[in-house]
Every structure is written in C-alpha cells, then in structure tokens.
Amino acid sequence: MHELSIAMSLIDVITETLIRENADKALSVTVEVGALSGVVPEALQTAFVKAASNTPLQDCRLSIFYVPVSVHCSVCERICQVPPDGLLCPNCGSSNIDIVRGRELDVIRIETS
Amino acid sequence: MNQPRILEVRTRILKDNDRIARDLRRQFVQTGTFVVSLVSSPGAGKTTLLQKTLTELSSRYRVAALVGDLATENDAKRLAESGVPVRQIVTGTVCHLEAAMIAEALKGWDLRALDILFIENVGNLVCPSSYDLGEHLRFVLLSTTEGEDKPLKYPTIFNTADVAVLTKTDLADAVGFDYAEAERSVQRVRPGMKIIATSSRNPDGLREYLGFLENRFQEFRCSVNGSSEK
C-alpha cells in the first residue's frame, strides 16, 4: 500500500501547479494509471481523499483513467493490448515486443478556478 | 475568484523522485560507483545473498550496502558482519525505499571510495516497483519456496527489474520446484529477462551470479572511463 505516498506526491504536483499558474483552487485533477505502474486505482482514490482532507484540496475531485498495457511487436509491427501477465504479441506470438503504454503514472490536467 | 481554467499538465506524479534518482545516477557515474538494488518478497533471501556477496567481493572491491526495513536494525547488523560499511534505513510505516531516502542515507559517505554499492529494498513485491532509486542494475529475487507463479501475480516488480535471481535452489527438490514453469512465468511478464540460479548455502552456489555482477561492474567502469576520456 504505497498509494498514500503516491497521493501525497500528487498533492505536491497540484499545489505547485496552482502556485505557478496563480490559481486559487483545484476543482478536479485527471490522472492516468497504467496497468504496469504498480498502483491500484481504487487504492489511490481512497488514499487521495484521506491525504487531501483538511487541506485546501479537500474538495478537489480525482478522475483516474486506467491505461491497459499495449505492446509493439517487432516481428509483425502491430500494436496490441495485452494483459500485464502475458507480454507476448497476441497476433504472432512473438516475445520480441516493446511496451508502449501501461507504465503511466501521470497527472494529465488540472481544472482550476 | 479566478476564472475556471483547464491546465494541461502532463507530468509524472513521481517527478520529484525521478529527478532525485537522475541526480543520484549522475553522481554515481561521476564517482565510478556501480549501484545494484535488490527487491523481493519478505523472506526470499535478500539479506543472506547480500551477506555472502559482500563477503565474497570485499577482498577484490570496495563494497558497501544500504538496507531498508520498516523497523529494526537487524539486517544492518547481519550485513556488518562481512566487515564492510553498512547503513540501515528505517522507513517506519513506509513500505518501500524512495530516491530521497537514498540521498539522505548517503550524506557524508565518500562515494569515490566505493566500487559497488548495494541497496536492499524493503521486502515487498508491490510498492518498490514504482520508485527509481538511481541504481544501475535491479535484481528481483524469486525463491524456490515461493512458487513458480510469483511473477504472474506480481508482474510490475518483475517488469521493472533487470535480472531475476532464483534463490534457495538447494531447497528446490524438497519443495518440488519446477524450473521450466518458473522460467515461463518470468518470460510472460518480462520477455528476455535473464534468470540466474543461486544457492547461498552451497559453496559453489553463487558462482554464476558473482561472475555476472563482476562483468556488469567492469562494463560500467569501461563506459564511465570511456565517456570521461571523450
């Protein structure tokens, strides 16, 4: 359960952004959590509520987009979605693949007022 | 009150950790210190493997270790028996090491006096996977007593490691460990990952692993020297 640490880092990113942009308040924040990021979206949601309570961000809404793993196959040149415990090209079966999505742990946008 | 605005931020949540890790890695290159971290579940044999590693390497290299645990300094005491410098990082309630903890623990240490620094992470197959520590090589340990499908249950930690080290192979027969099955599990979560079998109990059980480590260290030193000559 390191989601509380992640939530606190997220709060730091939001706070820095508000100061830099001279904004008063964050209404919502959108993040992407990849299937290979090591973070569980539900746990992050709970941790964020806990970490933000009694702070200026306590009314900030967190939207989490879960990003499945996609791999690029060097043999058949396709990009396919795969489960995190099956990193093979589902098209040709090759293991000669690169992960192109699924490692995200990113803040995408912040809605401010 | 300001006008509502949508700010496209697109930044890593752990950007601060990533920055500190990048600075550490740059510093390690400058001082010529090769940094190796170990992650695994609790009880997979990190401390025993590291104890043997430090003892074996200390006659030829200047080695040291940082060891992370939620509580106690027991592991640091065990590792210090090898006679090399060891520092314990007690994380309290934090279930993983972060780059800032490494930077803090290294304060006052002369990295130029170190060839290889080992970092033993907190025993945990989930949380350490999100944090870059600035290391050059990350080993994930899998013990024969844990079962062949551990990689499938914890794909992220295997995916973020460089090499898998199979430990406790002296117990493999007793627990009916299936090597081929374990290999398949690892390849499904990290295609092409090298697996090195070890036993910390058998006198010859670390030969391949130590050879691999030394090769990687030499490659690191060559690349560091090469880039400083340019």
CATH number assigned to the domain comprising residue B156: 3.40.50.300
A27/B11 touch (CB, cutoff 8 Å), yes or no: no
Determine which helix (DSSP H) or strand (DSSP E) holds B156, and give its type and residue range: helix B155-160
Average pLDDT, chain B: 95
Q: What is the pLDDT at residue B206?
A: 97
Give the confidence band of A74 by pLDDT, cuts at 50, 70, 90.
very high
Task: Provide the number of structural domains found in chain B.
Answer: 1
Question: Could you tell me if A87 and A97 are in contact, meaning their C-beta atoms sit under 8 angstroms apart?
Answer: yes
Domain of B157 in residue numbering reads as: 34-224
Buried b (16+ CB within 10 A) or exposed e, B159-182: bbbbbbbbbbbeebeeeebeeeeb
3-state SS string for chain A = CCHHHHHHHHHHHHHHHHHHCCCCCEEEEEEEEECCCCCCHHHHHHHHHHHHCCCCCCCCEEEEEEECEEEEECCCCCEEEECCCCCCCCCCCCCCEEEEECCCEEEEEEEEC
**For B64-120, how does the pLDDT look when each residue is reduced to its tens digit (9 = 90+)?**
999 998 888 888 899 888 899 999 999 888 899 999 999 999 999 999 999 999 999
Contact residues, chain B, for A96 at CB < 8 Å: 191
Given a cut of 90, whether residue B228 has pLDDT beyond it is no
Using the Cβ of B91 and the Cβ atoms of chain A, whether some distance falls under 8 Å is answered with no
Query: Using CB atoms and an 8 Å cut-off, which of residues 166-195 of chain B contact chain A?
Result: 187-192
- Euclidean distance between CA atoms B144 and B127, whole angstroms: 22
Out of B15, B94, B155, whose CB is closest to A84?
B155
pTM of the predicted protein model:
0.94
Using the Cβ of B15 and the Cβ atoms of chain A, whether some distance falls under 8 Å is answered with yes
- Euclidean distance between CA atoms B144 and A72, whole angstroms: 32
Task: With respect to residue B68, please indicate whether it lies within any of the assigned structural domains.
Answer: yes
User: How many C-beta neighbours within 10 Å does residue A67 have?
Assistant: 19
- Euclidean distance between CA atoms B43 and B126, whole angstroms: 15
Question: Could you tell me if A74 and A41 are in contact, meaning their C-beta atoms sit under 8 angstroms apart?
Answer: no
A38/B130 touch (CB, cutoff 8 Å), yes or no: yes
Chain A residue with minimal CA distance to B188?
Answer: A86
Using the Cβ of A22 and the Cβ atoms of chain B, whether some distance falls under 8 Å is answered with yes
Given a cut of 90, whether residue B203 has pLDDT beyond it is no
Q: Apex CA B182: angle with CA B42 and CA B207, to 5°?
A: 75
Using the Cβ of A84 and the Cβ atoms of chain B, whether some distance falls under 8 Å is answered with yes
Give the confidence band of B3 by pLDDT, cuts at 50, 70, 90.
confident
Report the topology of domain A2-112: hypothetical protein PF0899 fold (3.30.2320)
Q: What is the pLDDT at residue B225?
A: 87
Using the Cβ of A32 and the Cβ atoms of chain B, whether some distance falls under 8 Å is answered with no
Using the Cβ of B129 and the Cβ atoms of chain A, whether some distance falls under 8 Å is answered with yes
Given a cut of 90, whether residue B2 has pLDDT beyond it is no
Q: What is the pLDDT at residue B229?
A: 54
Q: What is the pLDDT at residue B146?
A: 95
ipTM confidence score = 0.94
Q: What is the pLDDT at residue B71?
A: 86
Chain A residue with minimal CA distance to B5?
Answer: A112
CB pairs < 8 Å spanning A and B: 115
Mean pLDDT of all residues in B201-214: 95
Give the confidence band of B40 by pLDDT, cuts at 50, 70, 90.
very high
**For A7-36, how does the pLDDT look when each residue is reduced to its tens digit (9 = 90+)?**
999 999 999 999 999 999 999 999 999 999
Task: With respect to residue B13, please indicate whether it lies within any of the assigned structural domains.
Answer: no
